[in-house]
């Protein structure tokens, strides 16, 4: 394996070098580039707009002011970004169902629909106010039930207290899409053998309690924010949380039947690679809203810069995973290339607005290498993750957050502390909650249900009712 690693690192170095020359990104101090490209312009524009809003006592007065045009544009962009993040959930459903067996496709889709819809409702009830409680002790706070609109304030729908150029409704719906994403990641990790009811209970508790609590530590002005921890759009706060929760669930759930036998690992082939490909590219498109919307305004410099770093990292991740897979596995593996795109996207998410263009290529390429070894490692440890979500979102989420401490002046130790704290709490929470569900109601379907497929057993339906299983001549077994 050592020679494979050395060859991979050599090829990766050459790849990054070519990317560096092609981009022509000069080795200027990243801090200077950040201040010039994104932060200064965005903060100045947002502060001006917030100040303008606070001058008015009625919505009519504000609508008649010159600042209202900018407010409308910024607010509209946040709503478009929220729509793009919603599109990511179609991507997750397509990717997860495509990479699993056809007999579980309906179950995967059902779980994704439930998580999205219940997650948004629960986030409206309590999650938003846990994540953004206002003044609190920095660890856990609660601002009250609901989104927080004060009807006694004629312009209360404007989130002037946060200095953001959008309505509180836009802020909520954008953040709600993020909340649902964290639990959707878990869905892919446990597919094919989990009781639907058990997953539903766990997903609701993850979105309603754990995710907003750890999110408040950074985005809500909590203790990690005060230390300078930086996670722009959620490499750790969203993707890492989903990966850590998924790992805890898989450890308690166990592997799919037939995956590991007699000390060997057996592939359980994906049933629809084209569908998985559609899912990945839907995620790629939606990620521009995920990262671009996190600028929290329509600032042309900030948003366009984030678009570029996001695209560069994704492409570098794909190519690096292709090279690594060929060197290490002697295979041109399409699903691994797809995971390389996602690995690059997850990796750049923490620092998309502050990492240089060359840095974005390096972050994405490194994530593309890491994801291959992570998937192989988990298989070696007999941790069965059908879609590679723990590797893509968990491992690459950690890398992306730590990369902010490597490629920018942010403290690496603070990044390490924050990542460790968030993922440790999420992992322990998930072990405790999923363990309690396992003890009380059970979490795994019977061997008969797993063999027949969850679509028929739990839903009484099939994704492909007009197709019959194909008999392989080599094994004499039916595959689905």
The rounded distance, in Å, linking the Cα atoms of 312 and 220 is 29
Strand partners for 261? 264
Strand partners for 225? none
444: three-class secondary structure by DSSP: strand
State the pLDDT at residue 470. Answer: 53
Average pLDDT over all residues of the chain: 86
The rounded distance, in Å, linking the Cα atoms of 363 and 32 is 19
State the pLDDT at residue 473. Answer: 45
**Cβ-count burial of 465 within 10 angstroms (0-12 exposed, 13-18 middle, 19+ buried)?**
exposed
State the pLDDT at residue 153. Answer: 53
Comparing CA positions, the residue from 423, 416, 335, 427 lying closest to residue 372 is: 335
Q: Which residue has the higher pLDDT, 54 or 161?
A: 54
State the pLDDT at residue 165. Answer: 78
Q: Which CATH class is domain 2-24+31-479?
A: mainly alpha
Confidence of residue 467 (pLDDT cuts 50, 70, 90): confident
Distances (CA, A) of 262 to 104, 172, 238, 258, 345: 25, 50, 37, 10, 37
CA atoms lying within 13 Å on the CB side of residue 21: 5
Is the Cβ–Cβ distance between 128 and 141 less than 8 Å? no
Tens of pLDDT along 424-435? 999 999 999 999
Distances (CA, A) of 103 to 25, 256, 351, 456, 465: 48, 13, 39, 8, 10
Is the Cβ–Cβ distance between 100 and 479 less than 8 Å? no
| 65 has pLDDT over 90 | no
What is the reported pTM?
0.87
Which stretch of DSSP H or E encloses residue 260?
Answer: strand 260-261
- Domains of the chain: which residue ranges? 2-24+31-479
Is the Cβ–Cβ distance between 387 and 92 less than 8 Å? no
Tens of pLDDT along 392-436? 999 999 999 999 999 999 999 999 999 999 999 999 999 999 999
Q: Looking at residue 159, what DSSP letter applies?
A: -
Distances (CA, A) of 58 to 63, 65, 377: 9, 11, 59
Is the Cβ–Cβ distance between 27 and 362 less than 8 Å? no
CB neighbour list of residue 142: distance below 8 Å, 6 or more residues apart? 126, 129, 130, 133, 136
Give me the numbers of helices (H) and strands (E) for the chain, helices first please.
21, 4
Radius of gyration of the chain (CA): 23
State the pLDDT at residue 215. Answer: 97
- Torsional sign, CA 85, 86, 89, 95: negative
The rounded distance, in Å, linking the Cα atoms of 476 and 480 is 13
The rounded distance, in Å, linking the Cα atoms of 140 and 122 is 17
What value does the mean pLDDT take over residues 450-459? 92
Torsion angle, alpha carbons of 311, 312, 318, 324, to 10: -160
Confidence of residue 149 (pLDDT cuts 50, 70, 90): low
State the pLDDT at residue 3. Answer: 52
101 alpha-carbon distance from chain centroid = 23
Is the Cβ–Cβ distance between 256 and 268 less than 8 Å? yes
Tokens at 260, concatenated: 């590991």
State the pLDDT at residue 159. Answer: 44
| 157 has pLDDT over 60 | no
């Amino acid at each position: 394996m050592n020679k494979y690693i050395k060859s991979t690192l050599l090829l990766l170095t050459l790849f990054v070098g070519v990317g560096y020359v092609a981009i022509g990104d000069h080795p200027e101090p990243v801090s200077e580039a950040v201040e010039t490209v994104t932060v200064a312009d965005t903060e100045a524009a947002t502060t001006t707009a917030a100040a303008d809003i606070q001058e008015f006592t009625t919505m009519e007065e504000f609508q008649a002011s010159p600042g209202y045009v900018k407010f409308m544009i910024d607010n509209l962009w946040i709503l478009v970004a929220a729509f793009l993040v919603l599109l990511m959930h179609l991507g997750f459903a397509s990717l997860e169902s495509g990479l699993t067996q056809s007999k579980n496709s309906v179950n995967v889709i059902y779980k994704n629909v439930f998580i999205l819809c219940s997650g948004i409702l629960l986030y409206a009830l309590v999650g938003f106010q846990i994540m953004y409680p206002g003044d609190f002790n920095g660890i856990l706070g609660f601002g009250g039930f609901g989104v927080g609109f004060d009807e006694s304030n004629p312009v209360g729908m404007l989130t002037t207290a946060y200095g953001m150029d959008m309505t509180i409704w836009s802020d909520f719906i954008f953040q709600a899409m993020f909340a649902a994403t964290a639990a959707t990641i878990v869905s892919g990790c446990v597919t094919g053998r989990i009781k639907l009811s058990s997953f539903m209970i766990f997903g609701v508790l993850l979105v309603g309690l754990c995710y907003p609590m750890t999110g408040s530590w950074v985005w809500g002005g909590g203790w990690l924010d005060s230390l300078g921890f930086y996670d722009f759009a959620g490499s750790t706060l969203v993707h890492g949380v989903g990966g850590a929760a998924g790992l805890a669930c898989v450890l308690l759930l166990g592997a799919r039947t037939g995956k590991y036998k007699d000390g060997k690992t057996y592939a359980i082939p994906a049933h629809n690679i084209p569908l998985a490909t559609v899912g990945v590219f839907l995620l790629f498109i939606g990620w521009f809203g995920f990262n671009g919307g996190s600028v929290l305004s329509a600032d042309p410099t900030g948003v366009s810069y984030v678009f570029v770093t996001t695209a560069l990292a994704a492409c570098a991740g794909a190519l690096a995973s292709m090279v690594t897979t060929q060197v290490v596995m002697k295979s041109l593996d399409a699903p691994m290339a797809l995971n390389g795109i996602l690995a690059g996207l997850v990796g750049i998410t923490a620092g998309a607005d502050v990492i240089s263009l060359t840095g974005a290529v390096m972050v994405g390429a490194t994530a593309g290498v890491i994801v291959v070894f992570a998937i192989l490692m988990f298989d070696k440890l007999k941790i069965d993750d059908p879609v590679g979500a723990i590797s893509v979102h968990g491992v690459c989420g950690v890398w992306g957050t730590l990369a902010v401490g490597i490629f920018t002046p942010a403290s690496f130790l603070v990044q390490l502390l924050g990542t460790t704290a968030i993922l440790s709490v999420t992992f322990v929470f998930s072990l405790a909650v999923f363990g309690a569900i396992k003890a009380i109601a059970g979490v795994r379907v019977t061997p008969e249900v797993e063999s027949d497929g969850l679509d028929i057993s739990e839903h009484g339906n099939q994704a492909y009712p007009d197709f019959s299983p194909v008999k392989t001549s080599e094994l004499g077994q039916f595959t689905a």
